Structure 1
Amino acid sequence: MQFYKEENFKEMHGLRVPEDWEVVRIGDFIKYIKGKKPAVMVDEELEGYYPYLSTEYLRDGIASKFVKITNKEIIVNENDILLLWDGSNAGEIFLGKKGILSSTMVKLEQKNKIMDDLYLFYSLKLKESFLKSQTKGTGIPHVDKKIFENIKIPLPPLEEQKQIAKILSDFDNLIGTINKQIEVLNKAKKGMMKKLFTKGVFEHKSFKKSEIGEIPEDWEVVKLKEVVDIQSGKYFKYSEFCENGVKCLKIDNVGFGKIFWETVSFLPEDYLNKYPQLVLKSGDIVLALNRPIIGGKIKIGILKDIDEPAILYQRVGRFIFKSEKIDKQFLFYLLMSEYFKKELSKLLIGTDQPYIRTPVLLNIKIPLPHLEEQKAMAERLKSIDNLIEIKRKEKEQIEKAKKKIMNLLLTGKIRVKNLNF
């Protein structure tokens, strides 16, 4: 792959582009189709049902809802271009997967085919941050139609569009390879967890039958409430939130094993003193109490140094340790296990927004090895997590490189001369 710098530029519609490029306005060649609210949705895939294209599914491939086809829905095919029109991340651009378009999204199509579709996708991704910053609405933000339609996109010759798209898709393929490696490590971790929480890490010669299955003879079975308690957060009014301050940890911030701040709300700094009992610290374990299981994964996280301080919001539970018989890291991994997920799912109340009551949650029985073995089990699982983190950082570096080259290629600051494969 070789590049050369383009020296001859021109001003066109407010953009500086190479002499042989054009500039087009989104509203002049793009039409969009708004998604519809489906008539029937279920939690598992059945015959005649398609995945509902939520942002979570489009980001990580975890489908939590499926839609029955009635021919009234908007069908999305692989690589269709989608725009999140409404919601906290309004303005986000996705490449589609086979499924049903969410009512919060629109499908983008060209009225006249003037641009390579993949080049169009990357061009829109370059405008994503701007589009997000220009959303409207005081309640649920939405894309500003006028601003979206007035976005200008540089238009190279078609062959160059395809070459640019190919380079950027190669980056995405590399990122996809790393994602698969992470997936393999996660499967290995899942298998290790199943073995550790039933057989242990030490060599056990005798086992016993218990109410939770066969476990080593010297293990205990206890209810969660014997070793921990759960503190739920507080509801804060909309008027209490501010532009900057201390982070408020909501259900959206609780991921699958970690804390996410992709969307963040702030409360005044003095709330740290006003509500000291709600202040979260590094090492705290939190669980989503509403919809705690999504796509077969438990929404649980453990705070790190970079996450503190934060204030606990309603329907997020923090585990308060009241016994020295249990290791914090051991419990964190146990709460992510298939066993705990199965027990938790039995106790959920409701279908649309299933939730768990804390007294019921605390009655779940768990295996309790000796403290030394708990720590050894947690250490083994932590070693796999460290490998996953290495891969995650590698992926992050490639994404940064992609972002940099994408900006250069899509503005013509670097031109593709030829490709050698």
Structure 2
Amino acid sequence: MEMRPGYKETEVGVIPEDWDVFAVRQMGEVVTGKALAVHASGKQRPYLRTKNVFDGRIDIEDVLTMPMTDEQFAHFRVRSGDVLLNEGQSIELVGRCSLYSDEYPEPCAMQNQLLRFRARDGVSSAFASYLFRRCQATGVFARIALQTTSIAHLGGSRFERLRLAWPNSESEQRAIAEALSDIDGLLSGLDRLIVKKRDLKQAAMQQLLTGMTRLPGFSGEWPVKKFAELFNFSGGYSASRDQLSTVGYCYLHYGDIHTSSKTFVDVKADYQDIPKLDIALKRVSSGSLLEDGDVVFVDASEDDEGASKHVVVVNADNIPFISGLHTIVAKAKTEELAHSYRRYCFQTQAIRQQFLFYAVGTKVTGISKTNIAKLTIPVPSVVEQTAIAEVLMDMDAELAALERRREKTCALKQAMMQELLTGKTRLVQPEAALA
């Protein structure tokens, strides 16, 4: 294939003619953190750990301090413009990095398992941070890391020797970093808006689902019903994760309830993503086969937060769907709870507190079918339930639209990084073209 004019073949691929391949150590100083000895006579200083360094972000809310000497602090100090990388991490996260900037107020030192890159004059540290983030995202760091058990070590010397393509012009480096920073800013804005919308939805649920705030046209007391009056309870069919595949009938694993951000599962829409169990349906009791409107609660959780996790089943086409191990299936006895309302009504703080009251266990929190039947819930009229659910579904739709927009922006960012950090797309014309 013919080479594009103005480009050349190198050990790292095709790059612009006015770019070159350099080892990281040629572009800046690399310092490897180490476990600092505590000096009782030293000054109390803050320090950063791997858990503080994320992709493009440094968390300063959880910074520890320890007494250290002035010499220790001077050598391992992090200042604005430094790039911090996780030297030791799981294989998929090793090398995760961020630029330390003026937004982080107090000077910090760094502990072991961190690397510090300090750009030399003529090198943009912001560009370097994006170049390293792309190395992490594309698996470059994972390939050169030394892996022991579950932890991979990037290693300061291996990182220093890594050869990458760099624009020779600092102005071009800065232009690339600014373009990527702009889209990072857009993503951060979307993240803040999504958090705000989620908080508003949570507040609305607590108000509307408890009757503290009533929608126009509704009044009167809500009767309180026990779960036992509203549902029949049964257990799931026991199967391990290892038994699941892409063949057989849809199977609801309790782990998927814990990890889902949704409180419903649409069997038809989500069919391809739902794990399957290859089994004869006659072996599964009718109580474990999920129908439209069934509510499935987990009966075990490793933390209190997960004790009340559940999903509502949307299955109008009656597709065979098996509830699994560690689940409690709630099948409606009456029509007192609207299907749409069930997606929200079990998410109030009052319901969570009842789950925790009846939950038992030390390392694992569990609840039985007997105890879940004792829980109570206020029940407005079906008409009011439907009106409340419509308000909350509108908020869900707005959130979903924002999350789709964020996904598209993430995809755009990845494409921009591929184009800009390899020189396929230029933001600064090469000097030869300007002559």
Identity of aligned residues (%): 18
Q: Does 1:130 align with 2:139?
A: yes
What displacement does 1:84 show? 8.8
Q: 1:205 to 1:253 in 2, by over 3 A?
A: closer
Q: How much has 1:304 moved relative to structure 2? A: 7.3
One-letter amino acid matched to 1:221 = V
TM-score (normalizing by structure 1): 0.66
The one-character-per-residue Cα deviations of 1:144-165 (angstroms, maximum 9, x if unpaired) are: 7489847643222333222212
Shift of 1:409: 0.2
- In 1: Cα distance, 2:368 partner to 2:48 partner: 31
Aligned to 2:428: 417
How far apart in 1 are the matches of 2:78 and 2:125? 15
User: Separation in 1 of the partners of 2:283 and 2:87?
Assistant: 36
2:117 aligned to 110, 114, 117, which one?
Answer: 110
Per-residue CA deviation, residues 225-281 of structure 1 (Å, 9 max, x unaligned), is 43343646746276x577999886625862343689xxx999776258697567778
8 Å CA contact 1:250–1:314 kept in 2: the answer is no
CA shift at 1:356, angstroms? Answer: 3.4
DSSP 3-state at the match of 1:17:
strand
Q: 1:102-155: CA deviations, max 9, x gaps?
A: x9x943322664854432332233331435986999997544748984764322
Paired with 2:95 and 2:359, the residues of 1 have a C-alpha distance of: 32
Return the match for 1:201 from 204, 211, 215: 215
How far the C-alpha of 1:410 sits from its partner, in A, is: 0.6
The amino acid that maps onto 1:155 is: W
1:189-239 deviation digits (Å, cap 9, x = unpaired): 223212212324363444xxxxxxxxxx2x22123343343646746276x
2:384 paired residue number: 373
Match 2:278 to one of 262, 270, 273? 270
Structure number with higher relative contact order (C-alpha < 8 Å, ≥ 6 residues apart): 1
Residues 401 and 265 (structure 1 numbering): CA distance in 2 closer, same or farther, change over 3 Å? closer
1:167 is aligned to: 179
Structure 1: how far apart are the matches of 2:311 and 2:218? 31
Partner of 2:19: 21
CA distance in 1, matches of 2:348, 2:193: 21
Verify the 8 A CA contact 2:48 2:63 in the aligned structure 1: yes
- Contact 1:230–1:358 (Cα < 8 Å) also in 2: no
Counterpart for residue 358 of structure 1? 368
Q: 1:27 to 1:109 in 2, by over 3 A?
A: same
- TM-aligned CA distance change 1:85 to 1:412, over 3 Å: same
Q: In 1, distance between residues paired with 2:353 and 2:296?
A: 18
- In structure 2, distance between residues paired with 1:120 and 1:282: 53
Partner of 2:230 in structure 1?
227
Please list, as runs of the form range in 1=range in 2, the aligned pairs for 1:211-360 lying within 5 A after superposition. 217=221, 219-228=222-231, 229=233, 231=235, 234=238, 236=240, 240=243, 250=255, 254-257=259-262, 270=278, 289-291=300-302, 300-301=310-311, 314-315=325-326, 317=327, 319-323=329-333, 324-346=335-357, 355-359=365-369, 360=371
Instruction: Give 1:386 deviation, angstroms.
Output: 0.8
Q: Which amino acid aligns with 1:236?
A: S
Pair 356,202 (structure 1): closer, same or farther in 2 beyond 3 Å: farther
Structure 2-normalised TM-score? 0.64
**Over residues 42-87 of structure 1, what are the superposed CA-to-partner deviations in whole Å (9 max), with x where a residue is unaligned?**
xxxxxx99999869x969x9x9x96875569x99999964549555
| Distance change in 2, residues 1:331/1:77 (3 Å) | farther
Please give the secondary structure, in 1, of the residue aligned with 2:164: strand
Shift in CA distance, 112/267, structure 1 to aligned 2, threshold 3 Å: same
Distance 2:395 2:115 in 1: 41
State the structure with more CA Rg: 2
After superposition, the CA RMSD in angstroms is 5.4
| Other structure's SS at 1:326 match | coil
Structure 1 gap segments, 5+ residues each: 1-5, 37-47, 207-216
Q: CA deviation at 1:381?
A: 0.5
2:407 matches 1:399 = no
